[in-house]
Every structure is written in structure tokens, then in C-alpha cells.
Structure 1
Amino acid sequence: MKNYFKKILIMFVMVLTIMGIGVISNCYVANAATVGEQLLQPEDGWKRYEDDNSKIFYYGEIGEAKNENLSGGSAHQTGYNGYSEIKFNFTKNKIALIYRAYNYGKNPTISIDGNAPEEIKANNYDGLSILVYKNDSLEDKEHTVVIKTYTSHVFDSIDIDKDGILLAYNEDIKNQLISLDKSSLNLKEGNLKQLKATTTPTGAKVVWSSSDESIAKVDENGNVTGVKEGQATITAQIKDSEIKATCTVTVTKASDTNTGNTTPTNPTDNSGGTSTGTEEPTNIVNIAHAKGDNTNNASGQVSIIFKGVAEAQLKVVKTADVDSVYVGDTFTYTIEVTNTSDKVAKSVVINDNAPNHIDFIVSGVTTTQGKVDSSSTSKNIVVNVGDIQPSGKVTIKIPANVVL
């Protein structure tokens, strides 16, 4: 009988030991989330700060993403229209970043205390509230963080030590902003107009530049001079920062009557169309909408500006190679511009704006004639086509990505 109870006792101890190991194992798993996992709540010993916390400062082109499945229900879309930065400070010895991850674009980077940037693996995975970066072996002190984004990514939240504190980045530069009084400007050759920059803080040093000084020049005071016919982008940038604002300048010949980027009285329908002017050369605007009513191409439109005689007519058709898409998908728009007349359409410029939830992939744009303008961004593509001969056709392909 004693041996019987002894065996029972041994088995009971073994069961408790196995259960104990399981509990320890489960605790270890719960407290050791790895990069690539979904992390809806902070791990034990950590706490979370959402993307809209007032101590987090954003610089550059920033959008907003809302989704009830994101941590806090919202996120900031950084790199929305080009380069952007996120800056903040925190205390203690560990940090984790949560993103809405999807396989697109160049990964963001994080630099802590001015050290060499590390890659944030935001495009290596797919899903909402994904742990994309983790460092739990930092020195126990206050740290400065700079996150740089070069293509569109959705920043969700920050996790730090439960005893840590999120702090504002450098008070002297946290509110740096710049804006221009005009986003577009029409000039004739030889004429001059001034762009005015407003900065925060007031009096910040502004550096001016032109994407093409052979078309439009700008001096240190924002005075823009039209040099020759064409289009250029004027940039005002706060010195020693990535904070900037831009203005698109269209220069026309002194003898031309410039109607600018105005929309015609009867814009074309979804299949493209034509516009005409007077007997004298003039700027003619032609609007074409993408076919279909899907998220991938609804609201897409193309402005075609050209100079030529009234008889020169352009037909514009814009299509997509898919009928339905999901966030993270990549597809391609095709724009076909055909000169349906027997007259030359001169100095054709294609200007395509991205619909909501779409980012153009600028580096992948191709055209059978002309070249992509350096002012192009993920939200606006400009192609300087040049002259289109009678019955000539130009095909432009624009790869795009679907974002939140």
C-alpha cells in the first residue's frame, strides 16, 4: 500500500512539474514577441503610446489612416508624398515600433542617439499592428529617436518600458514648418513674380532652388523669373532640415495667351476627348478620367496641356490593369494620348494626380516619348512629352500601390 501511494505522489509531482514548465514557457512566449508578429497590446513590462501623442512630432508629407483594427483606431501615414521624419525622446532602456505593415517601398530607418540608422522592417511583413522593430538592450537613460521614411508607410504606435516616459524631441526645432503663398504660378518669358514663404519658427533661414533653371530661376528672396517655355518646380526649404514646400511654375512664350491649368467648360467623359481654342497658338487643357468605379482608379484624372493651333486635337484614355485591389497591392495605370488631327500638338505636358488611397511609384514610370519631370511625386506625375505629330500616339505607364 505504501508503494502504491508513493507512486501516486511521484506522478502528482511530475504533473505539477510539467504544468509549471508549461506556465513558464507560456509566460516566456507572452513576454518575448518577435519582429513580424501582430502585437495588439504591449507585452508585460511595456507600455504603449499611440501615434497621435502630442510628444511625437512629424515632419514632411504626412497623411492619416483610420482603421478600427489598428492600435488606437488610427495611424500616421509617413512618406505620404515623399521624404518625412518622426522625432521623439524617451527614457529607460527599450523601445518597440508598431506599424501597419505591407510589402511595398523602401524600409524606414531608425537612429537612436545619433547612431547609425537601423532598418525598420515595415515592408517585410503584411498586416495590422505588426511589430516591425524592437530593441530591449539600450542604456538606461533618456534617448533621442529619429525615424526617416522615404516611401509611404503607416506608423501605428510606440512601446517602451512600463516605467519609461515619452518626451518631446528638441524643443527648439519641434515645431518647424514652412508654407508658400502659391502652389502653382504662371509666368511669361522674362517676367518676374515673388513667392512668399511663411516659417515656424518665424525667421527661419529659407533656401530656394529650381528644378530647372533653364526654365525658371529663383533668387534668395523667392523672386521667380521665367526664362523659357516649360515647367519647373520651385522649392523653399528650411536650412539644415528636410522641411520644404514647393510651387509648380509654368512658363509660356511672351506672345502666348496663357489660360493656365483651368478646367474647360465641358470636360471630357471617361473615354477622353478633345478641346480647341482660337486660331492663335494657346495653352489647351484636356481632362481625362480613369475608366471604372473601383477604388484603384475612381477619381483619377489626367490634365493634358499643349500648345498648338485650334485644329490640333488630343484624345486621352486612362485605364488600369486590374478591376479590384487590396491595400498593399501594386498595379499599373496606362495613359494613351493620341493626336487625332492633321496638325502638330506642341509642347505637350501630361499631369496626372493620384486618386485617394493610391501612391504612384515614380521610379517605375515609363513613356514612349519625352521624359518624366523631376518634380513628380507619389501623388502627382508630370511627363514632358514634347510635340505629338498628326495621328501620333504616346503611351505612359504608371505603376501604383494601394495604401490605407
Structure 2
Amino acid sequence: MVKAKAISKYAMHNSGKYPTLFPNTWTFEAWNGLEWLVLDSQSNVTKEDWVKNSEQSFTFDNNNYYNKYRIIIIKANGASGTVRAGICELQMMEKISNPSEPNTQFITLDSNTLELLEGSQDKLTATVTPDTAKVIWTSSDESIATVDQDGNVMALHEGEAIITAKIENTDIAANSTVIVKKPINDSLNSILSITLVNGITKEYDVTNKVLNDYLKWFDSAQGTSTFKFSKTISPYKKVTEYIVHDKIASFEVREY
């Protein structure tokens, strides 16, 4: 994992060619786990400024630690259409902290994605530096999944929600996507009605598991391959019927 840093200065060096491509307007941004934050913005840095000084450096206030930084160039000097920038080097300088104070803050989660069934739960574990930092837990959609302040996630309804663990009083956060699915109930029943080529119709009261097994068999089998159905017919304890694949004319499924 990339170690988080508190960047408070950056410098751009031009290529020495194509002054119309030198950046004129831009923002310097950091990713806090949820969105890009603008830490610094510059405008109207002319090509004359770049010719006079091939390195343009900028200092700003930032005490927070982030894993990702970027520059968004909005406008170049004289360029039109798609913005292309003639930069040959970008440097970022880390803020120097007081040695007596912790100089790193970051947070990670033990899982980026959780898949849960409705009504089930799981736990996310956050690792923070310093380990005394307080973590605040939130859910983007509490109708789908909730989270308590110990990281315990409860799946409520089918859908997706973002669980965020954030270091208190900072913008430093980590996310996990929770995907909630409906449980598969193999005990639900359907009526499977099979019409044979001789015109006889067979009906079976089957569970979803048996129905799915039959559908898989029907798609892959051929010829004299058979599928076994079990049912109770008085006065017998159990009756087993075998349906031959090439004797099936059609079938339908009626769920209830």
C-alpha cells in the first residue's frame, strides 16, 4: 500500500518547447476516499511566466495525509480544444512535521467489498495510524446496509451501499462496497408440467433445487438420457418416475 503523505508544495517544470502548451489554469487535488479535494488552484500563469522561469512552484496549507494526488489542467496558454500540457516533470514535497508529533495519519479496511445476503451481517476492521485515532463509521444508504461504530455491517435490503470509515476531524477515509443479495430459497415450490410426444402430461410438485437440476439436465442431455422424479402415491411409500429426454415434447413451470 502507498504510504499517505501530507503534501504542502509542488513544482512543475516545462519542456522548454511549445510555450502555447504551458499550463495557464489548473487545480492541485487530493483523494480523501470519497471525493477529490482541491488543495490549491492557479490561474493566468502566462507563457511569459513559464519562459522567465521554467519551474513554477506553489506552497499551500495542508496538514492532512492522503494516498493520491493529481493535477487537473483546465486551460493551456493558447491551446484550443483538448487541453494538452507541455510539462516534463512534476514534483511534490511532503510537509515536515514536528518530530514530537505523529507525522502520519491513514486508514485502511480489511476488505474493499462485502457480499451479504439479506438479513446477514459481517464485520469490517479498520487499521489506523496513529492507532489512537477515533474512527467514525457511516453508510451511504441505511435502507440497504447499516454499520455500527464497531464496524459491524447488517444487510437489510437488496442493493449496494458504501461503508465509510473516517478518522474523526479529518478528511482521511477508506471505503468498502457492500453488495446485498436476496437469499436463494431452495424450499420454494413449483409445478413442473411435462408433455410427452405421445400426448401424455406428467405433473410434478418440485422444489426450486429440483427444478434447477431438471433445467440444467434438459439443456445438456440428449437421446435416451433420463431424469428421475420422486413422488408419493397412495398406497405406496414412494414412487420414482423416469422421464426420457427425447420423449419430451414441451414443459411449463407454474410457481406458487
Q: The TM-score by the shorter chain falls in which range? A: 0.3 to 0.5
TM-score by length of 1: 0.30
Q: Which has the larger radius of gyration?
A: 2
* Higher RCO (C-alpha 8 Å, min separation 6): 2
TM-score by length of 2: 0.45
